Amino acid sequence: MSGNSRAVLLFGGFAAVLGAAFYPIYFRPLFYTEEYRQEQKMNRTGIKQEEIQPGGMKVWSDPFNRK
């Protein structure tokens, strides 16, 4: 019984660490889209897309623009 509980604790701890690592990277932006949209708008002020875009490439757009 001790071996099984140790394995469950090990895998459970691994899953918890993985979840804690992915929350700020993936899940938080999904839940707080308006906050991230405002942050990106503030970060991109003063940037002219046409001046920094390499020739022949499509201009980047808002990553939160959902259809």
CA pair distance 26, 53, nearest whole angstrom: 27
Report the distance separating Cα 37 and Cα 62, nearest Å.
8
DSSP class of 56: T
Res 67: pLDDT: 62
- pTM for the whole structure: 0.48
Q: Residue 1: which pLDDT band, with cuts at 50, 70 and 90?
A: low
Q: CA 57, CA 54: separation in Å to the nearest integer?
A: 6
Model pLDDT, residue 64: 78
Are the C-beta atoms of 29 and 36 separated by less than 8 Å?
Answer: yes
Quick: pLDDT tens for 10-65: 999 999 999 999 999 888 988 999 998 899 889 888 888 777 777 767 777 777 77
Other CB atoms within 10 Å distance of the CB of residue 36: 15
